[in-house]
């Protein structure tokens, strides 16, 4: 009697568990589930198409460094094998949404960081339903990918860390938490105050605890030193790469340079460093042979503003197809990505955490911080270092911090005699043609200016 | 080699010379602007402040009369030392600085986390060293003369700063001389001064395990030397347009000088607390953002390359190029055991 009762209970429990397993975050209504599946299918199809289109165009280009291959392979997988974008590894995967998360900590915890900031216009469309009219396309795209699960890495993460850098990110957590475990990291907006720094130090320690809990590994001083060393090796290659781009010859297309940095999002640090080292060697050879990707007459352009993430090569391609040389960018997705370096030789573990915390926030030139002077200084310095002739401001519709900061920044740059072009757009290819006209006009202006200044090459 | 290792070595050599140099008959005079204590018998050079306070306690008639020339020569010697070496005395030569740095090294080796002043606290107490400087000038003057019609101070107040300086109890210890570790009950002044001395000595030891260079924030010698910050031979320059304000230098600074990281529009960075340890240059990853200069010429500049090279020595790198490790799972950090 008793036994059968227990068996009954067990059976009911099993039913509940299996029932729960089937009850994924998707809506229970079969019609809704159907729509979801259709959205996912469409996204997967369109994404593959736009990726192939990009690579078809690239295959027609001459003079492209052969060492781009390992980076290309990562991006080709977006179309061919979305579940193989990330390296095959038994490690836990930690999704991150911003530069403000120190990746060293994730490596030290024995996990793989994956930056999930997305650039697909199709994914933005898939996520659109959940957002107000004017919203950041990056956040829309990330939601689209997570919701549909078209790129498995958006669902596979053991933890997704979202720093509260901008308002979109603040609200992103709730949307994603239906599908993946999310941890919010509160970023102070005032860099100069002591209270902000102490607060941020405490947040970083909270992050350490969360990572240790997810991975089950303790972050020790030795592990952290190893991880920081790993990143320094990558940063060394990145700095060499950027220094090569300062050369008078344009050794690599700006789009490819963005792709190199962008591949960091998905590659393991050691693999990336290896690939970047090979690329740097090739670029050095090209320099010796005076092999440039653009003619010397092409005006040198700096791209700054909202992030440019694969497959959204719209703006870099527009600039370079119009005859400009995109020599550098001040974007959190590429030019700024690995530039700032933390000290490894801090004496104690706690000091190393502080060093990482400072590195993530203090030198960051994102306009979400109140200290706008840092970005201005950085831009002026880059204009000098890369011998820049024109600046293109990229503002994604809905990216309010960059938009707000633009007017005073434009005024400062104009006062210093820098030519500028503001492009306000989103991920969709619809406005490409009108933009092309504007970019071409801008490049022609720069060329004309160079002639007038008597610096014609 | 890390600059603070080089520095520790130089400090050790200077320490041995300044404390024991006299035993070999070596001496570089008595006007050295550093805490090389007068109470060490075989010293190879001694602190400027002791004779300075002695001079000041003379009656004015003789200070500005018979000994005026000697006093001026004495001040002039100090001036030259300070002009040539400036704050390097604090960072590279001072025996008390060396002892504090040693305590810090011991603390770090023991894994005890350090502490920092709250910004407001640090700012609030910057006047203390100037107050001590004024007192060490006024009090001796009041012994030999009547200031503003006040009665003359008791001779027990002679060399007041030396009476409370932590050098007095600690440096003679290197000769096995413990006679300065006491509270003297012979007069009220002595009771107060020796109690203060013991208090400060205790603070010196305790703070060594809490914070870097704790007492240097209150040192009147630093106040005196900072008069030479702008004109001294050794300088520290900042190129504001190259600075990203990443804060590496501020965290590394033993004196917790915020200006080094925060100010972009200031060129001369030897501030009142700076001790020219040059650690800020070592940890600066931006090309030429910080430079140490000698007579205006750069001698040590910050650079990304140098930064990475120095840091790589500290990093524990997984054997790169080791194929078996690479194939297993690149970037995996081997577990500790």
Which helix (H) or strand (E) covers residue B106, if one does? Answer: helix B95-110
Task: Kindly write down the DSSP assignment for every residue of B197-236, as one continuous string.
Answer: HHHHHHHHHHHHTTSTTTGGGG-HHHHHHGGGTTTSSEEE
Q: Which two tokens stand for residue A340?
A: 């700032």
Q: Which residues of chain A lie closer than 8 angstroms to B248, CB-CB? A: 342-343, 355, 358-359
pLDDT of residue B330: 43
Which of B258, B330, B336, B337 to probe the A interface (max A CBs under 10 A)? B330
- Mean pLDDT over each residue of chain A, to the nearest integer: 91
Who's near A369: CB < 8 A, 6+ residues apart?
Answer: A189, A190, A191, A361
Residue that wins the pLDDT comparison between A32 and A253: A253
Chain B residues in contact with A204 by the CB 8 A cut-off are: none
What does the pLDDT average to over A282-293? 94
Nearest to B242 among A87, A233, A381 (CB): A381
Per-residue confidence (pLDDT) for residue A321, from 0 to 100:
95
CA nearest neighbour of A262 among A85, A123, A395, A390? A85
**What gap in Å lies between CA A313 and CA A315, rounded to an integer?**
6
In this model, does residue A429 exceed pLDDT 70?
Answer: yes
Tokens of A113: 């960081």
What is the reported pLDDT for B320?
Answer: 46
- List all residues 6 or more positions away from B192 whose beta carbon is below 8 Å from its beta carbon: none
Cβ-count burial of A18 within 10 angstroms (0-12 exposed, 13-18 middle, 19+ buried)? exposed
Q: How far apart, in whole angstroms, are the C-alpha atoms of residue B182 and residue A75?
A: 76
Q: Is the pLDDT of residue A86 over 60?
A: yes
Contact A92, A158 (CB under 8 A): yes
Dihedral angle sign, alpha carbons of residues A187, A188, A194, A198: negative
In the prediction, which pLDDT does A4 show?
64
Cβ atoms A361, A353 nearer than 8 A: no
**CB < 8 Å from B in window 378-437 of A:** 378, 380-381
> Is the confidence at residue A104, as pLDDT, over 80?
yes
pLDDT of residue A413: 95
CA distance A106 to chain B (A): 11
A338-355 in b/e burial notation, b at 16+ Cβ within 10 A? Answer: bbbbbbbbbbebebbbbb
Global pTM? 0.90
Q: How many CB atoms lie within 10 A of CB B108?
A: 16
pLDDT by residue, tens only, chain B of 337 residues: 788 899 999 999 999 999 999 898 888 988 999 999 999 888 999 999 999 999 999 998 898 888 999 999 999 999 999 999 999 999 999 999 999 999 999 999 999 999 999 999 999 999 999 999 999 999 999 998 888 888 889 888 999 999 999 999 999 999 999 999 999 999 999 999 999 999 999 999 999 999 999 999 999 999 999 999 999 999 999 999 999 999 999 999 999 999 999 999 988 999 999 999 999 999 999 999 999 999 999 999 999 999 999 998 877 665 544 333 333 444 445 444 4
pLDDT bucket at A219, cuts 50 / 70 / 90: very high
Q: What is the pLDDT of residue A5?
A: 67
Assess whether the previous peptide bond of A311 is cis (omega < 30° from 0): yes
The pLDDT, as a whole number, for residue A12 is 66
Q: A249, A294 in Cβ contact below 8 A?
A: no
Q: In this predicted model, what pLDDT tens digit does every residue of A18-75 receive, in sequence order?
A: 544 444 455 556 677 888 899 999 999 999 999 999 999 999 998 899 999 999 999 9
Closest-CA residue to A453 (of A409, A393, A378, A387) = A387
CB half-sphere exposure, B247, CA atoms < 13 A: 21
Q: What is the spatial distance between Cα A223 and Cα A347, in angstroms, rounded to a whole number?
A: 14
**Which residues in chain B have Cβ-Cβ distances shorter than 8 Å to A376?**
none
Tokens 């320099």 belong to: A287
What pLDDT band is residue A117 in, cutting at 50, 70 and 90? very high
Residue A454, pLDDT > 70, answer no
Work out how many CB contacts closer than 8 A connect A with B.
Answer: 131
Subunit contact A112:B331, Cβ cutoff 8 A: yes
* Segment B305-313 long-range contacts (CB within 8 Å, at least 24 positions apart): B307/A341, B307/B282, B307/B283, B308/A232, B308/A235, B308/A236, B308/A239, B308/A341, B310/A345, B310/B2, B310/B282, B311/A229, B311/A232, B311/A341, B311/A343, B311/A344, B311/A345, B312/A229, B312/A232, B312/A233, B313/A345, B313/B2
Look up residue A39 and give its two tokens: 């959205």
Band (pLDDT 50/70/90 cuts) for residue A457 is very low
């Amino acid at each position: 009697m008793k036994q059968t009762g227990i068996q009954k209970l067990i059976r009911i429990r099993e039913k509940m568990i299996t029932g729960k397993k089937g009850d994924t975050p998707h809506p229970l209504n079969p019609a809704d589930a159907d729509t979801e599946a259709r959205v996912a299918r469409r996204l997967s199809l369109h994404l593959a198409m736009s990726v192939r289109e990009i690579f078809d165009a690239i295959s027609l280009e001459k003079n492209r460094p052969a060492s781009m291959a390992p980076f290309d392979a990562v991006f080709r997988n977006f179309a061919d094998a979305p579940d193989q974008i990330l390296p095959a590894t038994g490690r836990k995967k930690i999704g991150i949404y911003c530069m403000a998360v120190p990746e060293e900590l994730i490596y030290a915890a024995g996990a793989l960081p994956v930056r999930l900031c997305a650039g697909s216009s199709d994914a933005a469309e898939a996520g659109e339903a959940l957002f107000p009219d004017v919203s950041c396309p990056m956040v829309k795209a990330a939601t689209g990918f997570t919701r549909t699960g078209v790129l498995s890495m958006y669902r596979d993460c053991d933890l997704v860390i979202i720093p509260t850098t901008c308002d979109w990110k603040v609200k992103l957590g709730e949307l994603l938490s239906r599908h993946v475990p999310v941890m919010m990291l509160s970023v102070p907006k005032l860099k100069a105050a002591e209270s902000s720094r102490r607060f941020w130090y405490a947040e970083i320690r909270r992050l350490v605890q969360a990572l240790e809990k997810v991975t089950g590994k303790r972050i020790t001083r030795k592990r952290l030193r190893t991880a920081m060393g790993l990143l320094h090796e990558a940063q060394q290659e990145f700095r060499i790469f950027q220094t090569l781009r300062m050369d008078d010859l344009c050794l690599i297309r700006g789009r490819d340079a963005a792709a190199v940095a962008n591949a960091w999002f998905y590659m393991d640090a050691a693999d990336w460093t290896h690939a970047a080292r090979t690329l740097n060697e090739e670029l050095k050879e090209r320099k010796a042979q005076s092999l440039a990707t653009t003619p010397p007459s092409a005006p040198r352009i700096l791209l700054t503003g909202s992030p440019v993430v694969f497959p959204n090569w719209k703006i870099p391609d527009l600039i370079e197809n119009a005859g400009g040389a995109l020599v550098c960018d001040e974007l959190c997705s590429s030019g700024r990505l690995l530039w700032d370096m933390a000290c490894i030789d801090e004496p104690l573990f706690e000091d190393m955490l502080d060093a990482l915390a400072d590195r993530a926030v203090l030198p960051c030139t994102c306009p979400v911080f109140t200290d706008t002077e840092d970005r201005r200084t950085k831009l002026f310095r880059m204009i000098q270092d890369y011998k820049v002739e024109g600046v293109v401001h990229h503002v994604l519709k809905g990216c309010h911090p960059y938009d707000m900061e633009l007017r005073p920044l434009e005024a400062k740059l104009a006062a210093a005699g820098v030519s500028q072009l503001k492009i306000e757009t989103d991920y969709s290819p619809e406005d490409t043609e009108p933009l092309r006209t504007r970019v071409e006009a801008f490049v022609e202006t720069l060329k004309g200016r160079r002639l007038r200044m008597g610096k014609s090459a | 080699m890390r600059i603070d290792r080089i520095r520790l070595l130089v400090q050790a050599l200077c320490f041995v010379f300044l404390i024991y140099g006299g035993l070999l008959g070596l001496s570089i005079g008595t006007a050295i602007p550093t805490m090389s204590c007068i109470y060490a018998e075989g010293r190879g050079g001694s602190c400027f402040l002791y004779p300075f306070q002695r001079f000041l306690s003379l009656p004015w008639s003789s200070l500005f009369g018979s000994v005026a020339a000697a006093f001026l020569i004495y001040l002039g010697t100090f001036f030259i030392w300070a002009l040539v070496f400036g704050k390097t005395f604090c960072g590279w030569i001072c025996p008390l600085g060396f002892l504090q740095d040693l305590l810090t090294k011991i603390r770090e080796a023991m894994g005890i986390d350090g502490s920092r002043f709250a910004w407001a606290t640090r700012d609030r107490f910057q006047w203390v060293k100037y107050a001590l400087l004024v007192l060490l000038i006024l009090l001796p003057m009041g012994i030999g003369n009547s200031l503003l019609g006040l009665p003359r101070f008791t001779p027990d107040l002679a060399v007041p700063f030396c009476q409370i300086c932590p050098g007095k109890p600690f440096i003679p210890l290197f000769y096995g001389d413990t006679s300065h570790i006491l509270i003297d009950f012979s007069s009220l002044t002595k009771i107060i001064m020796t109690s203060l001395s013991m208090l400060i000595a205790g603070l010196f030891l305790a703070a060594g395990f809490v914070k870097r260079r704790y007492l240097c924030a209150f040192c009147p010698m630093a106040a005196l030397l900072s008069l030479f910050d702008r004109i001294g031979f050794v300088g520290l320059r900042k190129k504001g347009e190259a600075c990203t304000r990443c804060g590496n230098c501020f965290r590394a600074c033993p004196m917790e000088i915020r200006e080094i990281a925060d100010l972009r529009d200031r060129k001369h960075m030897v501030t009142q607390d700076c001790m020219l340890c040059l650690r800020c240059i070592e940890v600066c990853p931006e090309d030429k953002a910080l430079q140490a200069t000698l007579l205006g010429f750069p001698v040590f500049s910050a650079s990304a390359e140098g930064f990475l090279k120095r840091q790589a020595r500290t990093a524990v790198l997984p054997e790169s190029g080791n194929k078996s490790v690479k194939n297993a799972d690149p970037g995996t950090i081997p577990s500790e055991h």
